[in-house]
Amino acid sequence: VLLLSGSNAEAQPAGDLLSAARQYCHNSGLDKTYTLGGNLHPDFLQSDLKGDHSTDLIVPVSNKATGKKGLVIFSAHGTHAFFIGAGKKFGDAGDDFKWAQKWAIYNKPTASKTIFNKKTGDLVGGKTVRLEHPGILILDEDSNGCIIYWDGRKYASIHQGE
């Protein structure tokens, strides 16, 4: 079981958190499909993504069969691992995060969402989205990408850039 709850998670050394995540993957059999680690630095992020006063762990991941990149969010309570990308389609970000070059926790209370015409793909405007909790900002080398956030029911994404 991955134990990352409350202030205990913040006090744990980084190596301990990653070791716990690897053990969770091994015990659950996820390590047969996914490899933890990859193309993003730092090697992992921590934040209370759902506002439940517990620290979640976010780690880059690769699908062993396809090589597709993504993220896995380990719930603070050690009861769930949620995969984004790595062969699983996630909103506008797609199923492969090979484009991702930079990432960080996004702590601002609002974000600007870029809106495109669904038929033509042309940029048509934007709108402000209120974020109740921190999100994960993922960008390519040109600062295009998305913010992944908890909308109260599920993880969602806000397109950033052009």
The string of DSSP codes covering the chain is -----HHHHHHS-HHHHHHHHHHHHHHHTGGGTEEE--S-SSS-EEE-SSSSSS-EEEEEEEETTT--EEEEEE-TTSS-EEEEETTB-BGGGBS--TT--EEEEE--SEEEEEEE-TTT--EEEEEEEE-SS-EEEEE-TTS-EEEEEE-SSSEEEEEE--
Decide if pLDDT at 148 tops 90.
Answer: yes
Residues 72, 97: contact at Cβ < 8 Å?
no
Q: pLDDT, tens digit, for every residue of 1-53?
A: 333 333 333 445 555 677 778 888 888 889 999 999 878 989 899 999 999 88
- The pLDDT score that the predictor gives to residue 7 is 35
What is the rounded average pLDDT of the residues 117-138? 89
- The pLDDT score that the predictor gives to residue 118 is 83
Comparing 22-36, 69-83, 139-153, which segment has the lowest mean pLDDT?
A: 69-83
Q: Model pTM?
A: 0.83
